[in-house]
Structure 1
C-alpha cells in the first residue's frame, strides 16, 4: 500500500492551490479595475456633456417660422391650426430626403414634435406631411 499523503503530493497540491488562488485573485482584481475605469469614463463623459451644455431658447411655433422651415426643406405650408394639445401643421410637396433636416431644424429651435405623419401617394418622393407640435 502506498501512502496517499506523501511530502511530494502535499507540495504539489499546495502549489496547485496557490496557483488557483493567484488566478482567482488576479481575475477579480482585473474585473474590479475594469469596472472602476468604466465608471470613471462614464463620469468624465457626463462632466463633459455638462460642461458643453448650452441652453437653447425655445421658440414659439409661428406661421412665419413654420413656413420658413418648410420652404427651406423644399415644401409648402398648407395650414396651421392651434388646438388644445398644440399646433396642427399640414404641408405638402416635401421631398423625403429633406424630412430629417426639417425635423432636426424644428427640434433645434425647441419645438417638440408630438405626432408626425408623412404620406406619398404619387410615388415621386414628395410627401404630404401632418404634424402635431408643441
Structure 2
C-alpha cells in the first residue's frame, strides 16, 4: 500500500481478541493485522450503509402500501356506488319489461362477450346502433 495515504494509529484491544484476530488472519490468508482490521472496518461500514438503505427501503415500501390501500378504498367505494346505480337501473328495467329467464341469460352472455371483446369499453351508442340495425 502507498505509505503516503496510510496513517498510523494505536488500538487498545483485549489480548484475547488480538489472539483470535491473529489466528483468524492467518487462517484467512491476510498478510497483516493492518489488512485484517482495514477489511473489518470496511465491512462494518458497508453493513451499516446497507442497513440504512434497508430502512429507507422499508419506509418507501410502507408509503407505497399506504397509498395502494388508500387507492383500493377509493376504488371499492366507487364500485359500491356503481353497484347501487346498477341495481336501480335493473329494478327499473324489471318493472318496465317482462323478460323470460332464457332472454335474461342470453342478454348476460352477449354482455359478457361484448365486455370481453371491447375490454370493458362498451358504449351506449354502439349498443343502440346494433339494436337499430337488426
TM-score (norm 2): 0.41
Q: Answer 1 or 2: which has greater strand percent.
A: 1
TM-score by length of 1: 0.41
